[in-house]
């Protein structure tokens, strides 16, 4: 998972929990016994098991549990066995996907006439991003502009690269500069590689007065046979390269180390309590896959292991929650929230209405952690979840307030498995310990740790092992998570969703796991 940008502190006063549709505050739930039963040691045992699975299933030289690898399949088997032994009703939900992943960092830089390393887009800053389903390769060559058209006030006027005739014999061996316009990005790339181009840079069209036609472009090439490395960039960067190419010339270095697995068979695991009101089902979600670059013991071995230990503790305590609790271990999160989107796509309208809330637990033990809460009602980050999401937000806030712990809110920006649920109007939320964003001195004052280092120094790396875990952070996050799970499992108040969240806020970018789309 990659998640969020620097955030404003949101210390809130203690507010009594009032669920949407209830006449008064919901009765408090004593979660002490379950919180005490769910321990860091118990969670760590599951994390150690997942790490052992990754180490025993090395894929392409790396211990990993990525979707489509033996390590992931073994992780699924482990979860199924654990949840069945705890007495939960377990269902495996198979589905088939094509997966594009980057095996190492991509590169886009100018080597002549100047040395310019263009910054990769991170959701806020940067000017380029790897094209989805790019071919792979490491190429340094002079660039050539292909049928560039001066921008107008009308979008989709450029036909750059749309016809084989756009590519003369001088394209061979060069990096093709392709302008957005009237045809698919994939068609442009196929035409470029057929003409002998060794790489391609697809840049935005530059339509006058249209921000979406000037900003960073992230092409998707799915459905086409891209065999050369491809990146997308904004109009300003593309235009500067066109001017250089048409002048004294420009040399570019483009590298994509990509791979596409086609028709990958994978599985979600759905495990629910035998009893409880099914019309107020509480969904608790985390993703069971890691990235290909490592074992993912924080991302998201921490959330998954908390879910497993919570389920076992519920069984050992003989808890029979008033409302059904459904633990879902999603596949394919790192490739674009594939498992959660598939799960939600298979729900009927009635099944959607029967889910009272979705709680997302992704990365709970980051080594240089913070305490982040999704801003369910949108009053701080500007993007509200469906009606009822603010109730879940308030549960976390009240809990941290009761413990004297600081926190900040983060927006619903589509970067984890809650996204498919909010899209269909299901209230959602969760907590998060931080990923690769650098901790500020102000945040050190709130949480401790080290300024200038990422919240998770091993985010999406080989070192995301047990050694990467903060036990204190895990302790604090598991208590908040378990408290919220049992609070909603035992409440006799309803949480009304099935709306579409904020109607006034807009997201310039929608994240699907690590993938960015307009």
383 close to 413: Cβ distance less than 8 angstroms: yes
- Tell me what pLDDT residue 28 has: 78
What is the mean predicted confidence (pLDDT) over 410-438?
93
At 132, is the pLDDT very low, low, confident or very high (cuts 50, 70, 90)? confident
- Tell me what pLDDT residue 136 has: 93
- Tell me what pLDDT residue 436 has: 80
At 293, is the pLDDT very low, low, confident or very high (cuts 50, 70, 90)? confident
What predicted TM-score, i.e. pTM, was given to this entire model?
0.78
pLDDT tens per residue, range 390-408: 999 999 999 999 999 999 9
What is the mean predicted confidence (pLDDT) over 289-308?
95
**Which of 93-102, 166-175, 303-312, 346-355 shows the lowest per-residue confidence on average (mean pLDDT)?**
93-102
- Tell me what pLDDT residue 518 has: 41
Contacts of 445 (CB under 8 A, 6+ apart): none
List 272's β-bridge partners, or say none: 89, 326
Residue 264 in tokens: 């990958």
| Mean pLDDT score of the chain | 90
How far is Cα of residue 474 from the mean position of the Cα atoms in its chain? 20
- Tell me what pLDDT residue 291 has: 86
What's the rounded Cα separation, in Å, for the pair 404 and 401?
5
Place of tokens 């030289």: 61
Among 244, 250, 319, 358, which residue's Cα sits nearest to residue 34?
319
Among 397, 432, 485, 404, which residue's Cα sits nearest to residue 34?
485
What's the rounded Cα separation, in Å, for the pair 355 and 419?
15
Q: Which residue has the higher pLDDT, 454 or 282?
A: 282
Q: Which residue has the higher pLDDT, 490 or 459?
A: 490
What is the mean predicted confidence (pLDDT) over 374-394?
94
- Tell me what pLDDT residue 497 has: 63
The β-bridge relationship of strands 128-130 and 116-117 is: unpaired
378 close to 10: Cβ distance less than 8 angstroms: no
Residue 281 scores a pLDDT above 50: yes
SS3 283: strand
SS3 247: coil
pLDDT tens per residue, range 470-481: 999 999 999 999
Residue 14 scores a pLDDT above 60: no
What's the rounded Cα separation, in Å, for the pair 209 and 479?
50
Note the residue count of the chain: 518
Residue 442 scores a pLDDT above 70: yes
% of the chain surpassing 90 pLDDT:
78
At 514, is the pLDDT very low, low, confident or very high (cuts 50, 70, 90)? low
Q: Which residue has the higher pLDDT, 496 or 381?
A: 381
- Tell me what pLDDT residue 513 has: 54
Q: Which residue has the higher pLDDT, 133 or 298?
A: 298
Which residue in 333, 334, 380, 408 is the catalytic one? 333
At 185, is the pLDDT very low, low, confident or very high (cuts 50, 70, 90)? very high
- Tell me what pLDDT residue 461 has: 85
pLDDT tens per residue, range 31-40: 999 999 999 9
- Tell me what pLDDT residue 503 has: 38
What is the mean predicted confidence (pLDDT) over 313-331?
97
Domains of the chain: 32-88+273-517 (3.40.630.10), 103-260 (3.50.30.30)
Q: Render 114-158 in DSSP notation, one character per residue.
A: S-EEPPBP-SSS-SEEEPBT---EEEEEEEEE-S-----SSSS--
How far is Cα of residue 12 from the mean position of the Cα atoms in its chain? 27
CA atoms within 13 A on the CB side of 112: 7
User: Quick one: CA torsion of 274, 278, 284, 290, rounded to 10 degrees?
Assistant: 70
Known catalytic residue: 205? no
Residue 217 in tokens: 């472009």
What is the mean predicted confidence (pLDDT) over 82-93?
98
- Tell me what pLDDT residue 505 has: 38
Q: Which residue has the higher pLDDT, 9 or 105?
A: 105
Place of tokens 């080290």: 450
Residue 6 scores a pLDDT above 70: no
What is the mean predicted confidence (pLDDT) over 105-132?
92
- Tell me what pLDDT residue 502 has: 45
At 290, is the pLDDT very low, low, confident or very high (cuts 50, 70, 90)? very high
User: Quick one: CA torsion of 452, 457, 460, 462, rounded to 10 degrees?
Assistant: 140
Residue 509 scores a pLDDT above 50: no
- Tell me what pLDDT residue 220 has: 82
What is the mean predicted confidence (pLDDT) over 261-267?
91
Q: Which residue has the higher pLDDT, 172 or 27?
A: 172
Name the phi and psi angles at 322, rounded to 5: -60, -35
Place of tokens 């990993």: 64
The DSSP call for residue 413 is -
- CB burial of 76-107 (b: ≥16 within 10 Å; e: otherwise) equals bebbbebbeebebebeebebebebbbbeeebb
Residue 324 in tokens: 């059904």
- CB burial of 317-333 (b: ≥16 within 10 Å; e: otherwise) equals eebebbbbbbbbbbbbb
Residue 1 scores a pLDDT above 80: no
pLDDT tens per residue, range 159-180: 999 999 999 999 999 999 999 9
- Tell me what pLDDT residue 261 has: 81
% of the chain surpassing 70 pLDDT:
90
What's the rounded Cα separation, in Å, for the pair 498 and 354?
10
Residue 329 in tokens: 């271990």
Angstrom CA distances, 65 to 83, 216, 224, 343, 370, stand at: 19, 32, 28, 20, 25
337 close to 289: Cβ distance less than 8 angstroms: no
């Amino acid at each position: 998972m990659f998640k969020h940008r620097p955030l404003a502190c949101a210390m809130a006063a203690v507010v009594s929990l009032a669920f949407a549709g209830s006449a008064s505050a919901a009765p408090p739930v004593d979660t002490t016994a379950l919180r005490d039963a769910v321990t860091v040691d118990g969670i760590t045992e599951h994390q150690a098991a997942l790490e052992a699975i990754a180490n025993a299933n090395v894929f392409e030289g790396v211990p990993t549990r990525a979707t489509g690898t033996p390590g992931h399949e073994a992780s699924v088997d482990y979860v199924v066995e654990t949840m069945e032994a705890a007495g939960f009703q377990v269902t495996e939900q198979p589905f088939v996907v094509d997966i594009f992943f980057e095996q190492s960092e991509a590169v886009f830089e100018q080597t002549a006439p100047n040395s310019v390393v263009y910054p990769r887009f991170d959701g806020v800053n940067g000017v380029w991003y790897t094209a989805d389903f790019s071919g792979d390769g490491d190429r340094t060559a002079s660039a050539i502009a292909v049928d560039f058209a001066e921008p107008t006030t009308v979008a989709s006027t450029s036909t750059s690269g749309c016809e084989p005739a756009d590519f003369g014999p001088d394209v061979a061996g060069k990096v093709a500069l392709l302008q957005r316009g009237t045809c698919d990005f994939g068609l442009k790339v196929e035409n470029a590689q057929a003409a002998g181009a060794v790489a391609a840079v697809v840049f935005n069209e530059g339509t006058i007065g249209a921000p979406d036609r000037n900003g960073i472009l992230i092409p998707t090439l799915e459905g086409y046979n891209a065999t050369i490395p491809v990146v997308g960039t904004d109009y300003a960067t593309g235009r500067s390269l066109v001017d250089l190419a048409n002048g004294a010339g420009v040399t570019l270095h483009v590298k994509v180390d990509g791979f596409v697995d086609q028709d990958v068979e994978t599985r979600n695991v759905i495990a629910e309590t035998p009893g409880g009101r099914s019309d107020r089902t509480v969904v608790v979600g985390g993703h069971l896959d890691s990235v290909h670059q490592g074992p993912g013991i924080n991302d998201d071995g921490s959330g998954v292991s908390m879910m497993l230990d919570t389920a076992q503790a519920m069984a050992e305590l003989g808890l029979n929650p008033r409302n059904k609790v459904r633990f879902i271990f999603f596949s394919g999160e790192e490739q674009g929230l594939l498992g959660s989107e598939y799960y939600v796509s298979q729900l009927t309208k009635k099944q959607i209405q029967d889910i009272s809330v979705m709680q997302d637990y992704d990365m709970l033990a980051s080594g240089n952690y913070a305490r982040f809460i999704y801003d369910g009602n949108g009053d701080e980050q500007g993007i509200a979840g469906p009606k009822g999401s603010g109730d879940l937000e308030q549960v976390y806030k009240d809990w941290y307030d009761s413990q004297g712990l600081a926190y900040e809110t983060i927006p619903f920006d589509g970067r984890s498995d809650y996204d498919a649920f909010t899209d269909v109007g299901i209230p959602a939320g969760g907590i998060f310990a931080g990923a690769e964003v650098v901790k500020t001195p102000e945040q050190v004052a709130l949480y401790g740790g080290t300024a200038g280092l990422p919240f998770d120094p091993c985010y999406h790396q080989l070192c995301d092992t047990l050694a990467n875990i903060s036990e204190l952070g895990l302790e604090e996050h598991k208590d908040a998570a378990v408290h919220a799970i049992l609070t909603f499992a035992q409440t006799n108040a309803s949480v009304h969703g099935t709306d579409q969240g904020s109607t006034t806020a807009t997201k310039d970018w929608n994240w699907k796991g690590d993938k960015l789309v307009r």
